[in-house]
Structure 1
Amino acid sequence: MRIVDARVIVTCPGRNFVTLKLVTEDGVTGVGDATLNGRELAVASYLSEHVVPLLIGRDAARIEDTWQYLYKGAYWRRGPVTMSAIAAVDTALWDIKGKVAGLPVYQLLGGRSREGVTVYGHASADTVDGVLARAADFVRQGYRAVRVQTGVPGLSDVYGVHAGPGVYEPAGAAVPTEAVWSTERYLDHVPAVFARVREEFGPHLKLLHDVHHRLTPIEAARLGKSLEPYALTWMEDPAPAELQEGFRLIRRHTTTPIAVGEVFNSIWDCQRLVSEQLVDYVRATVVHAGGITHLRRIFDFAALYHVRSGSHGATDLSPVCLAAALHLDISIPNFGLQEYMPHAEVTDEVFPHTYRFAEGYLHPSEEPGLGVDIDEELAARYPYKPAALPVNRLEDGTLHSW
């Protein structure tokens, strides 16, 4: 079952996506997500120039061997561009294998470990009252978990705050916009927000919060301690994870659970964090962490240390990635939560799929393979548009983590 064609498709139905479509000599197709938000063309070029020529003629059934070939064979290992490209190939090969077997991919991964995938929604607004209203809407839809983000008094633009109707997307102009950040204002504001939310919704709704890498370890420890009365399910990305040792300091000072890893590319990025039990959830994704093959490796490793999954699932990941994530989520024993931001209607039209949401759960497709495809003719109507993520500066002008 040789690969005879490999197409890299760049499209912008609401936002930019990069998709790899493989075709075998028997006419079986598979798709994989290769989107890297704000750096999409780097991955598209890596695939087109360096990977696609290596795929033609290869046996599509040899998933593990192909993964190792692309990882070890390049010599220059890891990194978001390389691993996103490998992920696209790997995911597409799993899609093909499922179709050939006549089974949804999760059945090839060992079958169901649960009936549905618990997802969380994003309740965000400039004001606390606005957040309460949006959280109430998610509860009415059946969500069991909600991420809470609010504006901060004195700051005009804060990550994660949904400014208006439609799908939240921070990437905008070709040149990054700049915002001003104040850690002091933020730390003073957030505990009062969660006091209101917990008072409104009681003890059983799972509450989450994304710090977005903005604090030092000691600042993150202070935040986690201040949030302990409100029993968060997790505090996400409290500090940049390049210094994994820093999470030991956070752990010493707070029992608020920690989630980290949406920017991780490999098992080595979280090796110490997991093995020393410095985090509670790993948020790595199919597309950025080397595909289904490598993300399963990460989650199996995490399971040894009572660490659960919490995969990133924002709209910068295409429905192809979300479909693949659901097959992993439903099958692994240490699943925690899955982020879910519904895509724009036009995105769903370009990427027809059969996964579904019902009463707080996402359910993977029961079709052979991943249960998702790309309409290439429709995708061609939406050309790439340059869109960069913002940057942050402190009040004195110092560049800060966004």
Structure 2
Amino acid sequence: MQAPQSLTVRSVSAFVIAVSPKTNWIVVELALADGPSGWGEATLAGAEEAVLAEIGHAQTLLAGVAFSGPAEVTGRLRMTHASQARMIVMRAVEQAVLDALARRAGVPLAAFLGGPERQAVPVYANINRGIVDRTPAGFAARAREVVTVEGYKAVKIAPFDGLDWKRCDHASGARLLADGIARIVAVREAVGPGVALLVDCHSRLSPVMARTALRALESVALFWFEEPLAEDAFDDHTGRALRSFANDRGIRIAGGEHLAGMTEARDFLARGTCDAILPDLRWTGLRSGLSILELAACSGVEVSLHNPVGPVLDRISVQMAAALPSFLILERQVRESPLFDEIRGGPQTLADGAIPLEAAPGFGAPPDRAVLERCAAQGFQRRASLAGVAGAGGDA
């Protein structure tokens, strides 16, 4: 019997790419001693130094060591009460190891994960971070561009800038809510009725605010209303009641982007507050993420992926979505920066609003190293907080 190939890590390194005042991408390269490099993404806004320190620590722990398999590699980084930085690096290393092994085997990552179940993955364009003009007209113009120029059939916005139900008085809360509703209506008018419109609330709303918005948007025909309520702020009954209120208007409630493991996912699904779940592979990892999403589908919840970051995790997420038995739609960060397409080697062509699955090994062509090195040499913007940065998500 032929002995299995070894899994010896030669090095773990990182590239930090300054994308915008809102974003730095952290791309991880894991090189095998006897094969190609694999790639992962460890983007964590506001914690870049901590992530880079953990990547340096991973290099110390993994370089030169022969492992029996991917689980042993990530297991060497596992620790009780791991920080967010340690967790996200552990997940990026898992991505990179599996990508490297798939490249060495000459098969797409989706096949390495047990798929593919489909040859194209439906996607939506998250255009929020790329919108500088935060007026309704600015939102509408960007949405119209990605639909007419790039062929997207679904668009997501986060329109409730500056709103936080816990900190706003009644008058300012009502004004900011109305501003967000105006942006949503403007986007619907710009893209027409045939484009799916998704709204991300970033847990900014109270139950009363959420119902007010849903009533005002009945004619807009939203595809989903994402994370209207903070998951830990209200009881299960309140969340289920809001879901029922939305469903009566033909709207899904989506959530679950912060889930990290099976126990959390089991409890989240048991609450019954969401129609669709979109965990983030930076927190779940690939193998655990597959289990979480299959559990959700078996529980009658539609499955998606939270994917608002860079081109590496984007391509990994496409492969993951293709490997799942059931999948609704995949998020893509669109038009925040031309670096997205430069790093991936060119723009992605859509076919009827979906990304065709690549047949190349791993997740496809590796990132353009010359672009990564050029960007890394330029340094990155250190930002401890996104407070006050409209369109960044955590701007309240």
Structure 2 match to 1:361? 354
SS across alignment from 2:305: coil
Structure 1 match to 2:377? 381
Structure 2 match to 1:42? 50
Deviation digits for residues 93-130 of structure 1, max 9, x if unmatched? 11111112110101122333233222222275533344
Corresponding residue to 2:32 among 19, 24, 33 = 24
- C-alpha change, 1:201 and 1:353, in structure 2 (3 Å) is closer
Shift of 1:303: 1.0
Q: Are 2:204 and 1:214 equivalent residues in the alignment?
A: yes
Deviation digits for residues 180-230 of structure 1, max 9, x if unmatched? 993211333444554555456554321111111111234324433443443
- C-alpha change, 1:385 and 1:253, in structure 2 (3 Å) is same
Q: Are 2:380 and 1:390 equivalent residues in the alignment?
A: no
CA distance in 2, matches of 1:95, 1:220: 41
Q: Are 2:276 and 1:281 equivalent residues in the alignment?
A: yes
Query: TM-score, length-normalised on structure 1?
Result: 0.79
Corresponding residue to 2:329 among 314, 332, 337 = 337
SS across alignment from 2:101: helix
Structure 1 match to 2:290? 296
SS across alignment from 1:254: helix
Structure 1 match to 2:252? 257
SS across alignment from 1:208: strand
Shift of 1:135: 2.7
Corresponding residue to 1:309 among 295, 303, 306 = 303
SS across alignment from 1:23: strand
Residue correspondence of structure 1 range 260-271 to structure 2 within 5 A: 260-271=255-266
Residue correspondence of structure 1 range 158-307 to structure 2 within 5 A: 158=162, 182-191=172-181, 193-195=183-185, 197-198=187-188, 201-243=191-233, 245=236, 246-255=238-247, 256-287=251-282, 289-307=283-301
Corresponding residue to 2:147 among 139, 144, 147 = 139
Q: Are the aligned partners of 2:147 and 2:153 in contact in 1 as well (CA < 8 Å)? A: yes
Question: Which amino acid in 1 is paired with 2:176?
Answer: Y
- C-alpha change, 1:27 and 1:197, in structure 2 (3 Å) is closer
- C-alpha change, 1:381 and 1:346, in structure 2 (3 Å) is farther
CA distance in 2, matches of 1:185, 1:138: 28
Deviation digits for residues 17-59 of structure 1, max 9, x if unmatched? 323222222142112111111112212212322x333323444
CA distance in 2, matches of 1:61, 1:354: 36
Q: Are the aligned partners of 1:319 and 1:348 in contact in 2 as well (CA < 8 Å)? A: yes
Q: Are 2:78 and 1:82 equivalent residues in the alignment?
A: no
CA distance in 2, matches of 1:219, 1:95: 43
Deviation digits for residues 272-301 of structure 1, max 9, x if unmatched? 3323431122222222x1421222122112
- C-alpha change, 1:81 and 1:182, in structure 2 (3 Å) is farther
Structure 1 match to 2:17? 12
Q: Are the aligned partners of 1:259 and 1:280 in contact in 2 as well (CA < 8 Å)? A: yes
Q: Are the aligned partners of 2:108 and 2:358 in contact in 1 as well (CA < 8 Å)? A: yes
Greater shift after overlay, 317-326 or 301-310?
Answer: 301-310
SS across alignment from 1:340: strand
- C-alpha change, 1:347 and 1:229, in structure 2 (3 Å) is closer
Alignment RMSD: 3.2
Deviation digits for residues 147-195 of structure 1, max 9, x if unmatched? 2455x7xxxx658xxxxxxxxxxxxxxxxxxx99932113334445545
In percent, how many aligned pairs have the same letter? 26
CA distance in 2, matches of 1:91, 1:283: 18
Count of matched residue positions in the alignment of Structure 1 and Structure 2: 364
Query: TM-score, length-normalised on structure 2?
Result: 0.80
CA distance in 1, matches of 2:9, 2:117: 36
Question: Which amino acid in 2 is paired with 1:95?
Answer: D
**5+ residue gaps in structure 2?**
1-5
SS across alignment from 1:35: coil
Q: Are 2:102 and 1:98 equivalent residues in the alignment?
A: yes
Structure 1 match to 2:3? none
Question: Which amino acid in 2 is paired with 1:114?
Answer: R
CA distance in 1, matches of 2:87, 2:156: 28
Q: Are the aligned partners of 2:9 and 2:66 in contact in 1 as well (CA < 8 Å)? A: no
Question: Which amino acid in 1 is paired with 2:12?
Answer: R
CA distance in 2, matches of 1:12, 1:203: 37
- C-alpha change, 1:292 and 1:354, in structure 2 (3 Å) is farther
- C-alpha change, 1:222 and 1:102, in structure 2 (3 Å) is same
